[in-house]
Amino acid sequence: MDRCRKRPDSDPQGRGEPEPPADKRPCTAEPSTSAAAAAPAPRPAEQGGSDMDTSSSGHAVDADADVDDGDGDGDGDGDGGSSCESDGDGSPRPRGGAGGRFHRMVEAVAAEGAGPDALLAALTELCEALSFCAEDAGGYFPTDAAARALVRRAGGGDGAGATPDVVLLSVRAITYLCDAMPRAADAVVRHGLLPVLCSRLLVIEYLDVAEQCLQAFEKISRRQPTQCLQAGMIAAVLGYIDFFPASIQRVAVSAVANACKKVSADCSQFVLDSVPTLCNLLQSEDKMVVEKVAACLINIVDSFSSSVELLDQLCHQGVIEKVLPLIHTGGLTALSPSTYSNLIGLLAKLACTSLVAVKSLFELNVSSTIKRILATSDLSHGMPYLPLEKQNNQVSEALKLANQLIPSAARDVGDTQIVLAKEKIITDEPSFLSQFSRDVLPVLIKAVNSGANSYICYGCASIVNNICYFSKPEMLQELLKETNISSFLAGLLSRKDHHVLISSLKIVEILMQKLPDAYLGFFIKEGVVYAVDALLAQEDCSKPTHLPDDMQQPETQPVIRNKSTCFCYAFDTYRSEAAETRTCKIGKDSLFTFARHVKTTYFTKEVVSSEMGLTEILQKLKTCCAVLNESTDKSSEQDNLQNEEYLSTILSEVMMELHGGETMTTFEFLESGLVKSLSNYLSNGKYLQAEENMNYSSDHFLAVVKRFQSFARMSFSRMGQSWGDMLLTLLVMKLQNALTSLDNFPVIMSHNFKPRSSISDIPARHSTVIPCIRVRFKKDENETNLSSYDNAIYVEISSSLHAIEEFLWPKVSIDVNSQKAESPPSGTALESIATDNSHERDSTPQSSPSEGLISGNQNVEPCPQQGTSSSGQAERNATILSDHALQPKLVFSLKGKELDQSVTLYQSILQDQINAGSDIILDMQFWRGVHDITFRTAANPEAIRTAANPKANDDSPRHFSTAISSITDNTSGFTWQMLPFFPSMLHGKLPCKLDRSSPSYDILFMLHILEGLNRYSFHLIADERNRSFAHGRITNLDDLKAVVFSIPQQEFVSAKLTDKLEQQMHDPLVSMSSCLPLWCTELMSACPFLFSFEARWKYFQLTAFGSLKNHHGHMMDPSVNIVTERGSPHSRKKFKVDRDDILVSAAKMMKSHAKSNAILEVEYKEEVGTGLGPTMEFYTLISHEFQKSSLGMWRGELPCDVGTDDGHVSRFVLAHNGLFPRPWSASEDCASFQEVSKRFHLLGQVVAKAIKDSRILDIPFSKAFYKLILGQELSIYDIQSFDSELAISLMEFQALACRRKYAESNLRDCQSISDLTYRGCRIEDLAIDFALPGYPEYVLLSESGSDSLNAENLEEYVHHVVEATVKSGIARQMEAFKSGFNEVFPLDKLQVFSEDELERLLCGEQDTWDFAKLVDHIKFDHGYTSSSPPVINLLEIIQEFGSHHRRAFLQFITGSPRLPPGGLASLNPKFTVVRKNNSIDADHDLPSVMTCANYLKLPPYSSKEKMREKLLYAITEGQGSFHLS
């Protein structure tokens, strides 16, 4: 269709209107040809070819905006939305100048006999005036008169012969009028506009007029949807929709969506006729069109929900056939989440009422779609916790759909007829149920096992119940072969919600009815029978836990769950508003009654006994564990060695049972008590002891070491082929399964949380958008030294008990004057010490967590004597603050339990509710409840200090070193105290505040030990080899080499806990406040390995910077009480850098901006480029600068000038295993070291800033250096990671020294002592100076006074070399690095990462690129597709690149030679390749890039060889500058 030309056949009446010239655009003519050109330009709707969304309004109302709320009141403007609007009576009562002007313009438009030019001018003036009409326009507008005149000019009434220009401007004026004054739509409809618009669309003469009619319909349909339907608008709008551009199609479907919001029965035929067209539009390439069409169909189904006939007609019109593929084939990525969920809900609503829909869905294999939704959806994000939450969620909607397809097994539903009809469908066609079950059952079980909440669990359990009910026994037998339904049911029966428990018991009953012989044994082994018994055992002692939700709770305590948590009607597709008031189907005692019925009917003592209630393997384990516990308790000093051998034998038997032939279920593993027995064995009986005594004898220390050595040997046995064969692997898998089966860490969600301003009393009275808890402080009954304070106050949830004490102490202290002398300074300084408020109003953006303790390079001193004095005052100040913080004046209690000073009051309240067995929902009832907290005077500050800081005693006493040396025969480098997990074994508890009575505590304790055992496997095995050599079991030094198969770290990750943490962090309240439940922080502290790297990265972002998305938030470092404000992502600082002096520029940059929260952006002097690309390159350049050998920072091979002409390469330290600090002796040149110290200080700043701003460094630190950053102590075995030759020599020397020492201690084989040689050579003959290898200026001090190595000082030599290499020789450099790092953010925030993950975080990934990955993660646009020949050539060339060229290519594209964590898929913005067009021959052009957008402009070269040549030239010669491309 030619745009703006009259169609030849569009005038069937032969009115004889002359066709305008071909070059004339009657609707948008040039100024010289029509007065219509004077119409205001700001209307994008007139540009038909535009891709922008089209709106005919000059106001801020989008064409796609959903203005009407469905009640027929339009946009709700009380008086029409504009002061220009009339009262509708049409009487001309001009008020002021504006009113008179509008009146005059309307009269000019309505004037009879006006000439064409005058009429066009009047319409143009009116359009321009209406386009700028706003609320403050003032005056009076004659709405009715204007509507009458404009409708007539548009072709209504006697105005049928109007010219195209007049029609266009008239309809445009109506559009503007209805937009500015929504009530004007009533007037134009009353005067007959709708038939006029429909006629213009049904027979299109001029395209611009038709487009304007569509826009008018879009405005009018918002207020008059029914009238538009009755006028036939849908047929008119959709008739020629394919001829319009995408922007106009959006307007058209928006009008249809408005009209279909509430379709009455008498208008249904108008809608049904348009459904095929709407369904075809679902295939549109324009996302917004598809979104609007989906909204139309959703509204139509909602309107027809009460009519089975109409829904059946919709199904016959092809709605299901079009919607289902859209959902299944990637709709999640193409559509918005809400539309995607609503489309699933559309199918559920059809299946609820229409049998045609049910049968169609089965025939179209809807189960594969449901399977995909449940398998690919993140069950930890956005899951509704309450059935009535107004959330669009695809998982919830998919469960509703599944519940509608398989009829309910219960017969108490409202419409029994439809249930019976659905049952007949699946009975007549057994393949429907069979296919559905095979697809859906495994993902339902996986969803529950992954840690879904009670709401989702109930939905899954209901579907499984229905499937089992309608399946025949043989089908069930086949279906359940590959699914562990018994374990699934045991997990459900451990839940607390009575709806889930009832559904689980129903499934148990069905299976026992249909397959009793097959399932009784499994139910016993997997713990289902045990769970039923445990449920009945709770009937008397814990009835309140299972009371219905509407049972009243005491008024003095907050109501934890509201009345709307009944799940009985949660998955009804249509829920009336009265659903909240419907009675729960589960009565008060029905749960226990039904459980007792299941027990007495199917699990009687006789039946269970006949199946061997305790399986053989469980009996063996219980026996072994009992012996192990008894022998551990009876351990005596005089028979210690013999007893340890006996215990090792029993332990070996237990471990072999794990590896036995019979499969051990998770229930048997837990019920046997094996985990607790192993924990008690490894801790030498301390694990089961209740006392908190931290002072242990050396005998206890030795026993723990010996037992761990025995356990480690067994764990690493069967290492022969791979890590999968080790007993350690098997034990980890068992523990992970056990941890997954338990549900002790509930996700606490805020119900419908919205930020609202409120007043907080603590830590200081101020306004906050974060909810506050209401607290009433009560004096302890026995307290006589304090006064009462009975007011209920508001406490911000981030406030610590110390902040509460500072608020309360002046108000309850009786002798105020005497207390003032003891109190710390008040006022601002006091508040800065006391508060944990992370949302302080007067925060300073430029402040730093370390501010006040560290400033610039002032405290980085090279010489020991100066360093001590320079930082001494700051350290003393910090100590004073710390000591004061650890000496509370008040002790607080909740329900009689003393609260931990290091835990916030909010966390303590939540933990108390968790311990009480409640599912906590943070709704308005929670925030309105008042919590009673008791306070009293702190009696013993020293005892409290010890209890509050248990880590002070984590390290073993120093006098153990002598005892331990007798075991290891090794005093050089490696000690047991270095192992982070060893104090846990020594003390018999985890370094956290988790409840020791929790079933999961035992598992966490063992996983903590096993993960440490796995991580330090090289150290432990190497130390074992060294001990074997010393004792003569190994005679060849070559056998000292340890070959280790360690378990991949991923095996220690708990998917369930990771999902729970993700869900908890995405809760809106947590995202805003960074206040997590206690279990999150404590698990992350004690067992961070349980969470995936991605989850820990988000936790790090949340706790270190206060936000998951780096949006505006707050951050606080409680250790120094400095509050900082996190800048928004748009807060950026530009800094100009000298490319020829990067190091100096970096120092200036960090001096100015290290403490700033703004993101740094770099631009180079005399270059025009700025933004992401230059910034990424800056971090790459500074990384390379730090590697220069002239800085004296790193150990390694110095560049050799001989034999190389590459001056660039020769400038850098050669460290093949990564960079590690060069040792500096305290006696060396003070001035030289001062420069080195400054460099390390700067390096710390740069590394921290790179992490904070998510930049990538190209600097190959060694694993040992990352360990130092994380605060870990290094030993002789860590030298292997950066200097393997030195490490091997030292370990061999150490082995010789240990053999000599062992022989001397046993006073035998004196000949072997004198004949001690190193590979056939006497030690003295090696002629090794007593200096640090590679650093002759670093002289080691020998106690014997010898200047060279000999057999007597061999052990001393190894000790001094290790000390200088990884301890004292690099200590000052690391202190400088850490001081610089802490200026940006606290270094201890990185403790959640391992050394490997820290490298990934800082330096990104070296991704492997295969063809499929490249196609998936590269966007091709503007002339290129994935199948374009130049693109295929490019991908092949990239794949063929070596490491050097690949790094150069990446730096050319992104500014960095490395990819971010996550590889190519994580590149943001996405790597994009577009066609570069040029007038000259493409083969003479070079590719160019926009590094800020990762945007490659690639000419279409004639051949692959030419492309390779030009690309290599560009990536090698195009580096080093940023200019316009």
H/E run at residue 966: helix 960-968
Kindly give the pairing relationship between strand 1317-1318 and strand 1321-1322.
antiparallel
DSSP bridge partners of 749: 921
CA dihedral 666, 670, 674, 678 (to 10 degrees): 100
CA distance 1523 to 495: 63
Number of other residues whose CB lies within 10 A of the CB of residue 394: 24
**1280 phi/psi in degrees, rounded to 5:** -55, -30
DSSP 1212: B
Task: Return the structure tokens found at 870.
Answer: 């320079």
- Contact at 8 Å (CB) between 1409 and 904? no
CA distance 911 to 928: 18
Euclidean distance between CA atoms 1366 and 746, whole angstroms = 43
Q: H-helix or E-strand containing 101?
A: helix 96-110
The answer to whether 1508 and 1437 have CB atoms below 8 angstroms apart is yes
Asked whether 573 and 504 are in contact (CB, 8 A), the reply is no
Tokens coding 274: 């348009």
Cα distance between residue 1251 and residue 1248, in whole Å:
5
**Beta carbons of 988 and 679 less than 8 angstroms apart:** yes
**Of 1221, 1261, 1213, the residue nearest 1239 (C-alpha):** 1221
Pairing of strands 792-796, 758-760: unpaired
Terminal Cα distance for the chain, rounded: 40
Residue 725 β-bridge partners: none
The continuous run of DSSP H or E covering 1059 comes out as: helix 1055-1065
DSSP state, residue 1091? S
Directed axis angle between helix 394-405 and helix 337-353, to 10°?
A: 10
Given the residues 315, 584, 1080, 1492, select the one marked as catalytic.
1492
Is there a contact between 154 and 112 (Cβ–Cβ < 8 Å)?
A: no
Q: Which two tokens stand for residue 329?
A: 């084939």
Give the Cα separation of 653 and 648 in Å (integer).
9
CA distance 497 to 918: 9
Percent helix, strand, coil in the chain, to 5, is 55, 5, 40
- In 527-639, alpha helices (H): 528-541, 590-602, 605-610, 616-633
Contact 1108, 1101 (CB under 8 A): yes
Q: How far is CA 898 from CA 535, 776, 1182, in A?
A: 31, 16, 52
Residue labelled with tokens 């021959």? 1481
The Cβ of residue 1445 has, within 10 Å, a number of other Cβ atoms equal to 17
H-helix segments, 1383-1455:
1395-1403, 1411-1417, 1429-1440, 1443-1454
DSSP state of 46: G
CA distances from 1387 to 872, 1092, 1182, 1380, 1398 (A): 20, 21, 21, 10, 12
Lookup: tokens for 258: 């408005």
Q: How many C-beta neighbours within 10 Å does residue 276 have? A: 14
Q: Is residue 315 among the annotated active site residues?
A: no
Peptide bond into 164 cis (omega under 30): no
- Render 1131-1148 in DSSP notation, one character per residue: -EEEEEE-GGGHHHHHHH
Give me the active site residues, please. 1492
